[in-house]
Structure 1
Amino acid sequence: MPNLTITADETTLRRLRVEAATRNISVSRFVGELLKEKFAADDAYECAMTDFFSRGPYLEPEPRDDGRAWPSRDELYDRKVLR
């Protein structure tokens, strides 16, 4: 497995060592797990964004369960206050 050297301030490294020790794993393994979690979250976000934008615009709203029609945009914004 390849090695990686990181540079960080002493406070961060001290906290990293303590956190790894409390989990009873090496610093190297702990950093590897953190990166794996971060990349998994990034991948999940990217999948969600791709799914959202692949759906396209909604031209027709879904019908209501009770059969009533949805109000039009003009009906929603036709208020005396806005005139």
Structure 2
Amino acid sequence: MKNVTVTMEDSVAEWARLEAARRNTSVSRLIGEMLAEKMRHDDAYERAMNEWLQRPALFASNGDPYPTREQVYGERLDGLR
């Protein structure tokens, strides 16, 4: 564990004290848990984004224009009209 000093507005510090008391923990532990959760969330988001970007394209572009909506969904669209 590493000790750090955190500077915050008085109103934020008061909220942190009340929230820590409500959770029966210390302000230090509360902030540490919040930061750990933020880190896990950001890591999961980055992994998901990288997986999405690595997926094969739906249509490979060789310079031709992408198919129109009608070309892709033709029969389905006809049934809706």
Aligned to 1:29: 29
CA distance in 2: counterparts of 1:19 and 1:74, whole angstroms:
52
CA distance in 1: counterparts of 2:4 and 2:19, whole angstroms:
19
Aligned to 1:73: 68
- For residue 74 of structure 1, report the CA deviation from its aligned partner: 6.3
How many pairs does the alignment contain? 65
Q: CA RMSD in A?
A: 1.7
Unaligned runs of 5+ in 2: 61-66, 72-81
Query: 4+ residue stretches of structure 1 with deviation over 3 A?
Result: none
1:2-32 deviations in whole A, cap 9, x for unaligned?
2100001110000000000000001110000
Matched, 1:57 2:52: no
Q: Select the structure that is richer in helix.
A: 2
TM-score (norm 2): 0.72
- Percent identical pairs in the alignment equals 43
Counterparts in 2 of 1:38 and 1:74: CA distance versus 1, 3 Å: closer
Letter in 2 for 1:7: T
**Structure showing greater relative contact order (alpha-carbon pairs closer than 8 Å, 6 or more residues apart):** 2
CA distance in 2: counterparts of 1:35 and 1:74, whole angstroms:
45
Matched, 1:14 2:9: no
Unaligned runs of 5+ in 1: 61-71, 77-83
